[in-house]
Chains A and B, each alone.
Chain A
Amino acid sequence: MLRLARLHVSSGSAAEDVLQETWMAVLGGLHRFEGRARLRTWVFQILLNVARTQGVKDRRTVPFSALTADLDAGPTVDSARFQGPQEPFPGGWRQFPAPWTSPEDAALSGEAERVIREAIMQLPERQRVVIALRDVDGCKPQEVCEILGLSPGNQRVLLHRACAFVRQQVEGYFSRRHAARTERT
């Protein structure tokens, strides 16, 4: 629930405030609640109300950007990474992307997960929600479309731009770490 709240407010502490207020309201209003079946829905309605109120107070709340801005055309990888028309392999990598895994970290480390989390928080709202909803097993593309009112094509564009951005941030993190290590030795 905390992570969910964080989708809607800009900082972790704001999300914690939202959660705390939500549970206070739930406890305070429990006597008015009827029927166990919809308890979950009811809790989320309260969370939504609190988040809305908080959003007005929290000036840093990320504005809901225009869809056209999210879909902004243009390459997702800097064109300088690829060879130009006069070079031997036009459109080919100048230098291959460096693999992330090294002997000491077999998979993405906890540190890299933090980088990913931060990158996701920097994304425009629709991209953020699209990538956050794409759980490994949870969520199907058409469900994401339905929730966000997107066409399947636009949903993929948002997901693609989101992933490309996050990948680039992780790449930057690994190359800075590599540079720091090289310096030390």
Chain B
Amino acid sequence: MTAITCAQLVELVTDYLEGELDELTARRFEEHLALCSGCRTYVDQFRQVIQAAGQVAEDDLSWQARTHLLAAFRGWRER
């Protein structure tokens, strides 16, 4: 496998952040990031979006309570 391009990297960001890339691809990903400030900015912004989205979605509900409602919601949709 050769080095990855910026266009390829932007499609791997989530898999990278989730730790789902294979070892070789993860290494190529990090090598690219070390050399490319454009992709560093992109990955950094992705992180910010995930963090902000979490805050936006947060409310006074516990995770378990949401699980119950969403499970019920799914059951209703499938009926």
Question: Which residues in A have some Cβ–Cβ distance to B below 8 Å?
Answer: 1-4, 8, 40-41, 44-45, 47-48, 51-52, 64, 75-77, 79, 82, 89-93, 96-100, 108, 112-113, 116-117, 120, 129, 131-136, 138-139, 141, 143, 147-149, 156, 159-160, 162-164, 166-167, 170-171
Contact = CB atoms under 8 A, between A and B. Distances in A.
Contacts of A148: 70, 74
B55 A163 contact: no
For this complex, into which size category does the number of interface residues on chain B fall?
A: 35 or more
A135 B20 CA distance: 19
B40 to A, nearest CB: 9
Interface residue SS majority, chain B:
helix
Contact of A167 (B6, B8, B45, B60): B45
Contacts, number: 144
Given A40-B65, A48-B69, A136-B51, A160 B14 contact: yes
